[in-house]
């Protein structure tokens, strides 16, 4: 069964370690394809180079804005161990590298390992009481998801930014609009698919990601993801954004952190 | 003026992009040199390849344990832009890669940028009321630092682990034992130099880092760093550890996150 995500991240092997894909405009924020989407394409290629493993931790450094169109992916297998393997992936468009990824893959199947959870899924109202995404203008990527926001985190979008809230935080349900279930390959995209939470405290604009790291902690069960994204520190022209993604079974499935530039009017 | 940190992270250029250094045993945890120390060596080499920039975000993926002895560092300058530059560094010992680093450097001098701080330095007692590191056995790296812990976060070390605390958190002052001031190059090491906070809830052992990412957010002023490290989620044989480092001027100077394996008896 085809899905927008599977179609738009598909890559084919051209030679060992060399893959070809197409960046579509369906995951754009303004004119620019989303960074989590690019990371997902890289993970698809890494999954062909090193099959049968789960992505555990991956970092993407964004060098130049991508454009919709062909992309080639060069995967270097750095180390292939029994339990862990590490690879680097270069995304190239028109001969220029746009994104570099460093990823370690392994297994999420550890049995009997110790468990400690200091925190649970984000508090959210029932889906029926959560709100559609803040807008306008809707960005193209927003059409790929169903998102339902906790109204408590949307005061800035509903009432304006007259009073700056204490927290730059967004809590929401997310799932693919076409019904595709979340999985370990799509979690990097879910980790970067909501509006920047910093919009609660700073006027919206383009927030270009410098670096995004995603830890995948479990395989999600089908259904909504419960997500919490927050920015705690804006200084020196940069901000961090932290994310937690939980599945309908109450499992933590991913943690994310990115370093991004403060909102600007320039694309 | 020489210092242990400067001496032990010194690298010399062998050819463009190729550097040589020595990993000393002074930053060992058991028989294994510390991961933050290896990242600092990589940053020294990147600083020679791309001079005059501040490290903003760097991710290290650890492939094999390092050993004290010679190390060669190969730096690839991936992109050199006006405001940001990105480089990759390979650390090699005996011809085998032990660590891969991906880093973006730039400037921490942004003026007039918006500022939002949701949180401040960790609550700590006066230095005189804080405790020496928990032990025994002291690890070699602990001799390189003065560390003074908040007793409230050391109940497990003082009274044992009969009652599992609600949080796996350590708060402490840190500075170099030889008086060297903290700077942007040493922050990756400070971000990985305290005992794992998970020891509050799981029996201590070796906690090998899979991946460590450090965001440098400001240049520290001389003096103590106020540090907070916590682990919130242990599952599937892995844990995350988050760090915040603040300087004596009350500035957030770094945030760190690592993915590591649960404590084991095996080195």
Where do the domains of chain B lie?
A: 4-107+131-261
pTM: 0.97
H/E stretch holding B189 reads: helix B187-190
Calculate the average pLDDT of chain A. 94
Q: What is the CATH topology of the domain spanning B4-107+131-261? A: Porin (2.40.160)
pLDDT of residue B128: 95
Residue A148 clears pLDDT 60, i.e. is over it: yes
The Cβ-side half-sphere exposure at B141, using a 13 Å CA radius, reads 22
Contacts of A162 (CB under 8 A, 6+ apart): none
* Tens-digit pLDDT profile for residues B44-62: 999 999 999 999 999 999 9
Q: What confidence score (pLDDT) does residue A135 get?
A: 67
Nearest to B38 by CA among B211, B180, B197: B211
The mean pLDDT value for B234-249 works out to 97
CB contact set of B241 (below 8 Å; sequence gap of 6+): B196, B197, B198, B229, B230, B231, B256, B257, B258, B260
- What is the structure's pLDDT at B136? 60
Burial environment of residue A111 by CB neighbours within 10 A (0 to 12, 13 to 18, 19 or more)? exposed
pLDDT value of residue B1: 67
Structure tokens at A265: 């009017």
Task: Measure the N-to-C terminal CA separation of chain A; round to a whole number of Å.
Answer: 36
Q: What are the beta bridge partners of residue A126? A: none
Paired strand residues for A42? none
Candidates A81, A97, A110; nearest CB to B79: A97
User: Is the CA virtual torsion B89, B95, B97, B98 positive or negative?
Assistant: negative
Per-residue pLDDT, averaged over B29-40, amounts to: 96
Distance CA B203, CA B234 (A): 13
User: Residues A166-186: pLDDT tens digits?
Assistant: 899 999 999 999 999 999 999
Give the separation between CA A25 and CA A9, rounded to whole angstroms.
12
- Nearest-by-Cβ selection for B116 from A63, A79, A201: A201
The pLDDT confidence band at residue B185, using thresholds 50, 70 and 90, is: very high
| Fold that domain A4-107+127-261 belongs to in CATH | Porin (2.40.160)
**What was the pLDDT predicted at B132?**
85
Residue contacts between A and B (CB atoms, under 8 Å): 175
| Candidates B56, B234, B236; nearest CB to A210 | B56
Distance in angstroms between the alpha carbons of the first and the last residue of chain B: 36
Which residues lie below 8 Å from residue A50, measured CB to CB, with a gap of 6+?
Answer: A77, A80, A85, A87, A105
Contact A75, A49 (CB under 8 A): yes
- State the average pLDDT for chain B: 94
pLDDT of residue B18: 98
For B218, nearest residue in chain A (alpha carbons): A236
- CB contact under 8 Å between B213 and A59, yes or no, is yes
Using the predicted structure, report yes or no on whether residue A233 has a pLDDT greater than 60: yes
Q: What pLDDT, on the 0 to 100 scale, is given for residue B198?
A: 95
Q: Kindly state the DSSP code that residue A181 receives in the 8-state scheme.
A: P
Taking phi over 0 as left and psi of -120 to 50 as alpha, with beta for the rest, A139 belongs to beta
- Contact call for A114 and B262, based on CB within 8 A: yes
**What would the DSSP string read from start to end of A29-76?**
ETTEE-HHHHHHHHHHHHHHHSTT-EEEEEEEEE-S---SEEEEEEEE
Q: How confident is the model at residue A159 (pLDDT cuts 50, 70, 90)?
A: confident
Chain A residue numbers with beta carbons less than 8 Å from the beta carbon of B233 are 116-119, 217, 252, 255
- ipTM over 0.90 threshold: yes
Whether the per-residue pLDDT at B74 is higher than 90: the answer is yes
Closest residue by Cα to residue A38 from A64, A1, A77: A64
Helix (H, G, I), strand (E, B) or coil at B252: strand
Enter the DSSP assignment of B255.
E
Q: Number of C-alpha atoms within 13 angstroms, CB side, residue A24?
A: 14
Asked whether the beta carbons of residue A115 and residue B198 sit closer than 8 angstroms, the reply is no
**What is the C-alpha to C-alpha distance for residues A255 and B162, in angstroms, rounded to an integer?**
30
């Amino acid at each position: 069964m085809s899905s927008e995500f599977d179609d738009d991240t598909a890559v084919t092997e051209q030679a060992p370690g060399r893959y070809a894909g197409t960046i579509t405009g369906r995951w754009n924020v303004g004119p620019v394809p989303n960074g989590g989407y690019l990371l997902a394409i890289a993970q698809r290629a890494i999954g062909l180079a090193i099959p049968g493993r789960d992505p555990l931790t991956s970092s993407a450094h964004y060098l130049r804005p991508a454009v919709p169109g062909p992309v080639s992916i060069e995967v270097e297998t750095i180390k292939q161990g029994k339990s862990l393997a590490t690879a680097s992936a270069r995304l190239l468009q028109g001969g220029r590298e746009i994104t570099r990824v460093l990823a370690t893959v392994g297994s999420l199947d550890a049995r009997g390992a110790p468990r400690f959870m200091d925190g649970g899924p984000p508090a959210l109202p029932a889906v029926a009481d959560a709100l559609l995404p803040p807008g306008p203008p809707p960005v193209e990527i927003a059409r790929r998801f169903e998102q339902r926001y906790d109204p408590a985190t949307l005061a800035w979008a509903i009432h304006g930014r007259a009073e700056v809230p204490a927290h730059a935080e967004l809590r929401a349900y997310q799932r693919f609009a076409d019904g595709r279930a979340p999985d370990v390959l799509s979690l990097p995209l879910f980790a970067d698919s909501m509006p920047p939470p910093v919009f609660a405290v700073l006027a919206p604009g383009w927030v270009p990601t410098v670096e995004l790291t995603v830890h995948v902690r479990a395989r999600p069960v089908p259904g909504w993801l419960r997500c919490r994204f927050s920015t705690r520190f804006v200084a020196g022209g940069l901000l961090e954004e932290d994310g937690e993604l939980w599945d309908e079974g109450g499992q933590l499935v991913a943690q994310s952190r990115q370093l991004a530039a403060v909102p600007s009017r320039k694309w």
